[in-house]
Structure 1
């Protein structure tokens, strides 16, 4: 099972190696040119697709907000440390978990929920949703949600991240119909290769070079670099005036009615 987890997690960000969005026979692989000017990356035609189906990859309000998200396909022993740092700084995060992770590390999933973090749906078996039926996609999401509800007080899941970063208009529509908000990302780097970690400064520098107002940051908890860099990263971003918020705050704010001025 661990070998499967390594392959699955590796596949999630393979498209980020390309500077432009990647195309597959039945879908798109989430990707974009990395931001190097502290602005939200341009994702081209993807933007309209996400808008049409209520999906997110960044907060476009212009506010200096940051949203930390982690993908959890398997465990390398760093998630406790990451949760300790988040607790120290009172920073919320979202953890997108798979069925393997929930079965293998239920105590960590429970700790995430108990400490006020969001548990997101990364599917049960990590399939490419663009090559399965709507019924199969629904089962993948429902089975994961049931596993999480069995061990935590979070009885429903609102947010999902498509396995392998694969999507198309059909899967975006299916997710919306099933009551999920899809969460992509605007800041990421190759952090999942556990045998090629480069030290905490590599992770820190990657985040600082790409950071921008409204960033949804994707990190993997299998990275020792991330675990070691997180404390300094949060401290520095706060000093720069960034606020760390939860996905709930992003989505609720986005759906508030426009203020009415005058009488």
Structure 2
């Protein structure tokens, strides 16, 4: 149920589809999508890849995002760390997650985190109709609103990072900003965890101003490394901001 890792952007076989990919940051330089073949589409539809909450160029903002396709027992500990460190995050939820873990959904909202739409059944949106996309989004939003009382849902992450211009357009027409990422690593397979130090090194090596960090909540490594990542990012002058504070998208 979790989203796919960043891979080179290769046009898929239908709907002008792409698998989201990016050139990783090195030495604090911004991650790049200059050569991926879809930069103009993201700009046209104001999708989020990197961003800033500040009018000051080079502000060291970070945006922490989690994909929650299903629960693997780690989200309570993740929420504990975020609460203790006073860090905002956004959790992109599927229908399965909303139905199976309503108390955690309520806790996310109660503790001030954003909840994003990751679709009801996690389909390849490039392979379904406009109407089906709208239905997938509407079911998640309605269910989350019923649980939390929060009527607004402003952000969507296409399942597995597969998208097309049509998908971005339909989601935007439904009032969503499409959200991708500029920091990520292979963390979504519970059977391929390599330890908290590995997770820490992977994330810290990619940090850059305006980074949108993608983590999967099913990862034990992420959970164990999260507090250290937050503390050491702050030591480097970074600030964790809520995704809804983005004032300018950068590509």
Q: TM-score, normalised by structure 2?
A: 0.93
Match of 1:54 in 2: 46
Answer with 129-138 or 34-43: which moved more. Answer: 34-43
Q: Tell me, what secondary structure is at the counterpart of 1:75?
A: coil
Q: Does 1:13 align with 2:4?
A: yes
List structure 1 runs of 4+ shifted beyond 4 angstroms: none
Structure whose CA Rg is larger = 1
CA RMSD of aligned residues (A): 1.3
Structure possessing the higher relative contact order (Cα contacts under 8 Å, 6 or more residues apart): 2
Shift of 1:156: 2.3
CA distance, structure 2, for counterparts of residue 202 and residue 109 of structure 1: 28
Give deviations 1:113-137, integer Å, cap 9, x for gaps.
0000000000000001111111000
Deviations 1:137-162 (A, max 9, x none): 00000001011011102112110000
Query: 1:110 — aligned with what?
Result: 106
In structure 2, what is the Cα distance between the partners aligned to 1:243 and 1:156?
25
Q: Which residue of 163, 183, 202 corresponds with 1:206?
A: 202
What per-residue deviation string (whole Å, max 9, x for no partner) do you get for residues 174-215 of structure 1?
Answer: 111111100000000001111121110011000111111100
Structure 1 residues 75-106: Cα deviation after superposition (integer angstroms, max 9, x where no partner): 11110000000011110000000000000000
| 1:176 equivalenced with 2:172 (yes/no) | yes
In structure 1, the gaps of 5 or more residues are 1-7, 256-263
210, 217, 220: which one pairs with 1:224?
Answer: 220
Q: 1:254 maps to which residue?
A: 248
Q: How many residues get paired?
A: 241
Aligned: 1:35 with 2:25: yes
Unaligned runs of 5+ residues in structure 2 are none
Question: In structure 1, what is the Cα distance between the partners aligned to 2:238 and 2:76?
Answer: 24
